[in-house]
């Protein structure tokens, strides 16, 4: 039950981050909240630009915020509205641990938790470089 309450709070933080998103082209405001192993939450908001390749996803923004604070170990990430991380975001998150929980809130309000390893089963990571 404690994990459920923790993940619900994480989804609420992702919703707050979505409110700050800059998405004039897609009109899809997206936010993410990344929970560190020591309980800190880092938020990120989607940021689009006219040169679409230069856009930053909410998951990447949250991860960048955490990394800029020196945090390298994570427990879970929530994304709002309900979505799974993009392929590129999955790979970046896997860099810091493949056993991250991905939390999404379904349209009925129920939380779905899926492990990053399930979303990226044959990931390429630091261990593949040796």
Residues labelled catalytic: 59
> In whole angstroms, what is the distance from residue 21 CA to residue 47 CA?
6
What does the block give as tokens for 57?
A: 């996803």
Q: Classify 17 as helix, strand or coil.
A: helix
User: What 8-state DSSP symbol labels residue 37?
Assistant: T
What is the helix (H) or strand (E) element at residue 20, kind and residue range? Answer: none
């Amino acid at each position: 039950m404690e994990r459920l309450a923790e993940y619900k709070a994480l989804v609420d933080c992702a919703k707050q981050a979505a409110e700050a998103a800059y998405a004039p082209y897609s009109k899809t405001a997206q936010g993410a909240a990344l929970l560190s192993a020591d309980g800190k939450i880092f938020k990120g908001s989607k940021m689009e630009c006219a040169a679409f390749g230069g856009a930053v996803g909410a998951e990447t923004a949250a991860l960048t915020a955490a990394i800029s604070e020196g945090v390298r170990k994570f427990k879970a990430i929530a994304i709002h509205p309900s979505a799974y991380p993009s392929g590129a975001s999955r790979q970046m998150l896997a860099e810091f641990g493949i056993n991250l929980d991905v939390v999404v809130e379904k349209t009925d309000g129920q939380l779905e938790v899926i492990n990053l390893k399930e979303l990226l089963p044959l990931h390429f990571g630091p261990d593949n470089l040796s």
